Structure 1
């Protein structure tokens, strides 16, 4: 019988819920799991390390996690109030989105963030060049309020420290005995996608190369195993040379109406001293 998997309380593009078994099979034992790109936290929620260092470059995400860790009951009480039929309307969504973009109150932002995540299109998290959240309304019949998932996350997060910094700084914090799992923004599948995705900042190809180099050096010079997930392309195969590569086929939505799926080739690259 398979262990019951725990779902994240946020919807998240590229979340690792469906790959948990593959990831757990490759993750070594250690006294701490470090995630420089924690996202929705599916790996954190479905592994059993004594301690966790969980990082993301998105300050709204890390602020939300720290609030849930410290005051889950208050957070549930306040955020569930937004999950009503009245608020599940296009005009109301855009009003709340505007409130989120205008407030600097960290608790308010955390409450609005969950509403936007569950009511926005495809659970996307996207900001414009001015730093304003700009995901359109999702048009769902009755967005799910993840109360059980929030409480589970809060309980498990007592083992975790959440930070909001660069992946380079997170690597620098790692000590022997720790394991690092990296789920960076994926490298583009094609040269066309590469241009569209990387023309304006974001996680560049140079960032991909730097991450691969840090992973290799952490393993070779500091004896810290590193597991990286990414698209399986000529580019990623090249930059992960020397790692133990596992090939995966993962279902992805490929159309806006969400009913067309395509098997996409992904890989896991494990850097570990034999």
Structure 2
């Protein structure tokens, strides 16, 4: 693709900087299935006929379905929150309170974008009660991504959005599909930890189970699976039998630019043809 499209959400671990490398590794197919869609940068920068885009965050999936079905109504409603009087700590925490107390998907979708763009580092985090708890970000003038929402809405006509687990997403794949997995990344060290933005976290057991699902799907069903993760000894062991390639990518792990360093990222491709060549 000649021009890369940015997601309209800020997202920790977003794949915008990786899309060129991912396009080199993703096999051809009719439909791309993403069990961990996140902000959708891979969806926005690939060309498949169809997409099945999944995530366990109900707010995220509701937002995408609303943008898909009624983009103009959504844009006008969300844009009203991106004004100077809403860009302060008191207004932010009031909006966060309304978001957490509301059960209306459209209202939550409006607040979700506001919180995403005004909250600290674009984080998406909930407490054990399921309440969004990211603090105010203190940005001078948060950007309203109207152009990006329109681009997303147009391409979303080719996509189905489902709030399901990665295990359920794997059960829905069929011939002609290609799977791309962008799970919460394994910790870089034994002292590092990661709690996913929904639920109880993505454990090392989940990492191993995802690798097993991927191997079996490629070997037994002939459906290729590409996974990205940190390039560390643990992931190289987990993804044994896959075609492995390491690339460098800048990770935005701090607000300070000096702390945004490049780390090795692993691309693991499970492909039945590749496995047969090794046997």
Q: CA deviation at 1:259?
A: 3.7
Q: CA deviation at 1:251?
A: 1.1
Q: What does residue range 96-107 of structure 1 map to in structure 2 within 5 Å? A: 96-107=95-106
Q: CA deviation at 1:52?
A: 0.3
Tell me if structure 1 keeps the 8 A contact 2:121–2:255.
Answer: no
Q: CA deviation at 1:121?
A: 0.4
Unaligned runs of 5+ in 2: 274-279
Unaligned runs of 5+ in 1: none
What do you get for the CA RMSD once the two structures are aligned? 1.3
> In structure 2, how many angstroms separate the alpha carbons of the residues matched to 1:7 and 1:266?
20
Q: Cα–Cα, structure 1 residues 253 and 157, in superposed 2: closer, same or farther, change >3 Å? A: closer
Spell out, residue by residue over 1:197-255, the C-alpha distance to the aligned partner (whole angstroms, 9 max, x if none).
Answer: 59x93000000000000000000000000000000111100010000001011112344
Aligned to 2:93: 94
Q: CA deviation at 1:263?
A: 1.4
Q: Are positions 1:7 and 2:15 aligned together?
A: no
Aligned to 1:132: 131
> In structure 2, how many angstroms separate the alpha carbons of the residues matched to 1:30 and 1:6?
21
Aligned to 1:37: 36
> In structure 2, how many angstroms separate the alpha carbons of the residues matched to 1:166 and 1:254?
26
Q: Please state whether the residue corresponding to 1:126 is helix, strand or coil.
A: coil
TM-score (norm 1): 0.96
Aligned to 1:251: 250
> In structure 1, how many angstroms separate the alpha carbons of the residues matched to 2:258 and 2:81?
28
Q: What does residue range 15-94 of structure 1 map to in structure 2 within 5 Å? A: 15-94=14-93
Q: Please state whether the residue corresponding to 1:86 is helix, strand or coil.
A: helix
